[in-house]
Structures are given as C-alpha cells and as structure tokens.
Structure 1
Amino acid sequence: MSMIESEVQTLVTQLKRKTWVDLTHSFGPESPHFPEFQPAKFKTIATHADGYYVKQYTFPGQYGTHIDPPVHFYKDEERYVEDLQLKDLVLPLVVIDCSEKTEANPDYSLTVEDIKNWEKKNGSIPEGAFVALRTDWGRRWPSQVKFENKDTKGQNHYPGWSLEALKYIYEVRHATANGHETFDTDAAVNQQNGLIGEYYVLSHGHYQVELLDNLDRVPSTGAVVFISVAKPENAPGFPVRVFAVFDESKNKENTKAIK
C-alpha cells in the first residue's frame, strides 16, 4: 500500500469514529414541495415476481432536500449540477441559529446584526464555509400546510435571509454556499418583487441547498458538511443527500447523533 493510500485510509477510519448527522428529509409523493410544483409520483414498474424490483420516479429537480446551482436562476451563469466542483461539495459547516426569533415571528429575515452577534460568540465565519440558517422549520415536515403557513388571505408565512445578510456572508466572509430549511431563500412576505436573495446568491456563482433537516442536531461550528448528488445532464437542480460530520466534544448544544 502506498503512503498516499495509507493516509487516505487513515482519514476514512478517523472520520467513521466521528459523529454523523443526516441533514436530509426523506421525500415522497405526499412530502412538502414548492407550491407551484406538482407532487412527486413514485410508480412500481417491476416487482420481485418479475425477477427484480424497480420504481419509476417523477418529480421536479427542486424537490425534497435539493441543490440549486447558479443556472437555476441566472441564465448567463451556465453552471449546472454536474459543473459543481467535488471539493466545493465538502465544506466547513456554520449553523446560525435564528429559531427563537422565527418562532416568535415566522416572517423574520436573518440580519447582519444577527450574524455579527453570532460571530461574537463563535468567531468569524471561515472563508469557504457552507452557512446554514437554522429556523427549526424542518420540524414541520411532512406537512405541506405547516410549511406554507398560510394566513386567511392565502399569504404564506415562513422565514428567510435578508439580502444584506447574504451579501455579508459572501462579500465580507467569502462563504462558498448557503442553505436553509424552508422552500425559499427569501422570507415569504418579502417576495413581492421576486426572490431577490436567491437571485443574488445564484447570480454570483454560488450554490445553495434548500429544505435542510436536523440543523438543531449539529454544533454551530466545527462540523464538515458533505453534499452528495447524482449527475444528471444539464440539471438546474436535483435532490441531494446532505450530512454533517463532527467531533462530539465540539457539539456544545447537546445534540443527538445518528450513528
């Protein structure tokens, strides 16, 4: 065995001793989805009686926990899912907890002040990080009604990022990507002029992951996020399997691990 192979194998062994947490929702035809999309369809097309078990899946690319590459919103940035660099899918994970404010106000948008207050406690967001916004909205899964949180006039109410907060993590802290637990980057009540925050992220060459889960089970810092995704041709989005790996000793928020 070569020295390089030995080092890689040692790294894998060390990683397997860490705490692993799945940040991905299981999804199916009844799962929450962006209101403009049709529900997914799962159809069995062969059973064990045929000699093998196969299902056919029909769903939009932006379904379940999914990734949005730049081309999803920005036609001049022709970077599809398959164009994302593998090394950019393994990043230091930062989790900014805004759950108390969003519980009190479901229309809340993360502010620069919120981030700076987080940094006073946890240190500066590292360059190249994946910055996740924790709102605990993922606990509303698997209810479409609870995710949309409509009022009597049909207006959705769920939290998001402010444009200023996104500019801060990308232009000041030089993050690589961001993620959240809701359908959209922008809070629902702030979408009268379109998804301005999401357009900013994707038009500046970044990607994002939506409908994350279990952000309450990982530490604010010290974890690494892994984003695993298939490689369909010219895909402007696709479901992903996202998970975090970290030292339990660094998890100061009394999280529970998935072993």
Structure 2
Amino acid sequence: MTELLDIYRTLKSKTWVDLTHQINEKSPNFPALPALEKKALFTHKDGFFVEQFTVVGQYGTHLDPPIHFVEGARYLDEIDLKDLLLPLYVIDKSAAVIENNDYEITKQDILDFEAEYGPIAPKSFVAFRSDLSKRWPSQDAIRNLDEDGVQRTPGWSHEALEYLIEERQVKAVGHETLDTDLGVSAAKHGGSLSEEYYLLSKDIYQLEVLANLD
C-alpha cells in the first residue's frame, strides 16, 4: 500500500494536461457524421437532473480502434487497459504547417526529432503537433476547404507511419486533424484514407482531434 500511495502522490504532484476538446453540439466532426444531440429527460423540477446524449463514436477527440477500418479487427474494449497508458512523444511541426497547410510529416522529421531527443521507445504513443486545434471550435477553420471543396489540412506520410510502426513498434499515433491522411492526398484518391487504413490494419490505434499538444 505504501508503494501505491507513493505513486499516487507523485502523480498528483505533477502538471496534468487535458488533450481533449470540450464536446458539444458544435464540435467540429467528420462531415459525413451527425452532430451530437442532447435533451433533458428530467430537470430539478422532477427532483433530479438527467440528460440524454446521442453521439457517434468518432466525434470530437476520440480513439479509433482497428475495427474502425478493418473487418474482424479489435474493438475498443479489446484493447488492453495497459496499452492505454503510454509514454507520449510530441513531434512539433506547427511552424511548418503555418507555412504550408498541406504539410505531410515525414520519416526525416521523426529522425530529426530522435537526433535531438533520443530514440522513440517501443510501445509508445507518438502525436503530430500541427496547432490546428487552435482553430477550434470553427468547423470551417478546422476543415479549411479550398474553392474546389478539398480539405487543405496536414497529415501523416506513409513512410513516417511505417517507420513508427515497423521500426519503432509504437502502440498508437495521434493528431489534431479530423483525418490521418493529408487532405489533398485523400481528395486525389477519391476520399480514400489509405494511411489511416494502413495503421489500423497493423493493429495500431489512433487518437484524433487532439488538443493542447503545445
């Protein structure tokens, strides 16, 4: 018990950062999915307050389990709880995204990060900081559509994901955007999210629409 209390006190003494957005009816979300709906079932006039929420799983800040794209793959409840407690590495390319909304994070970006901070440990969580979360809660600013309706947002390159999954053996990746893939790349392939399919097919989970990575 003493050891557990020591761990508890150590954790409580640290600064905690919430990487999620507030969830409500106006939260930016994938356009094909409905917005959150809520209604009060009971109010304090009834003696207690209860609200009902109707919301899809992939809404606001969320975790995508492999089943999201891959038939027969793991559901959320099949991910080991210990695999949800991971060391976090944040690769900051926010300055590059300011210059180029279509920035695609590369393997070289990760190698440069490792040259400065050391190798990414196996069974880790790696997040791509773009600062798109600072555009919240505007749906238009988050999606950043051009005149042709193409989403001009950053994303992961295949080589970057392949390096993290195959060589660094990470457990999860994350980003601030609505999608894994570069917006223009997805549009070029008819809306197909090939990089998201790739990582989920490797039994990796991802966290989307993250916040506060700075």
State the TM bucket, normalised to the shorter chain: over 0.9
2:86 paired with 1:91: yes
* Mapped partners of 2:26, 2:41: distance in 1: 20
Residue 104 of structure 2 aligns with which residue? 109
Residue 208 of structure 2 aligns with which residue? 210
Residue 69 of structure 2 aligns with which residue? 73
* Mapped partners of 1:143, 1:37: distance in 2: 16
2:131 paired with 1:136: yes
Give secondary structure in 2 for the equivalent of 1:168.
helix
* Mapped partners of 2:46, 2:159: distance in 1: 56
* Mapped partners of 2:104, 2:15: distance in 1: 31
Higher relative contact order (CA 8 A, sep 6+): 1
Give secondary structure in 2 for the equivalent of 1:107.
coil
2:40 paired with 1:61: no
Residue 201 of structure 1 aligns with which residue? 199
% identical equivalent positions: 48
Residue 142 of structure 2 aligns with which residue? 147
* Mapped partners of 2:119, 2:178: distance in 1: 27
Q: 1:37: Cα distance to partner?
A: 1.0
* Mapped partners of 2:194, 2:150: distance in 1: 18
* Mapped partners of 1:125, 1:210: distance in 2: 20
Q: TM-score, with normalisation over the residues of structure 2? A: 0.97
Q: 1:39: Cα distance to partner?
A: 1.2
Gap runs ≥5 in structure 2: none
Q: 1:52: Cα distance to partner?
A: 1.0
Residue 39 of structure 2 aligns with which residue? 43
For these two proteins, the number of residue pairs brought into alignment is 211
Partner of residue 15 from structure 2, selected from 11, 19, 23: 19
Residue 252 of structure 1 aligns with which residue? none
Structure in which a larger fraction of residues adopt strand: 1
Partner of residue 171 from structure 1, selected from 166, 173, 183: 166
In structure 2, what residue type is equivalent to 1:196?
S
Give secondary structure in 2 for the equivalent of 1:146.
helix
* Mapped partners of 2:54, 2:153: distance in 1: 27
Q: 1:154: Cα distance to partner?
A: 1.2
Q: 1:12: Cα distance to partner?
A: 0.6
- 1:176-227, Cα deviation, whole Å (9 max, x unpaired): 10100000110111113311111111111110000000000xxxxxxxxxxx
2:183 paired with 1:156: no
Q: CA RMSD in A?
A: 0.8
* Mapped partners of 1:188, 1:85: distance in 2: 31
- 1:45-75, Cα deviation, whole Å (9 max, x unpaired): 1101111111111111100100000100000
Partner of residue 117 from structure 2, selected from 118, 122, 129: 122
Where do 4+ consecutive residues of structure 1 move more than 4 Å?
none
- 1:85-113, Cα deviation, whole Å (9 max, x unpaired): 00000000000001111111111110001
Q: 1:144: Cα distance to partner?
A: 0.2
Give secondary structure in 1 for the equivalent of 2:108.
helix
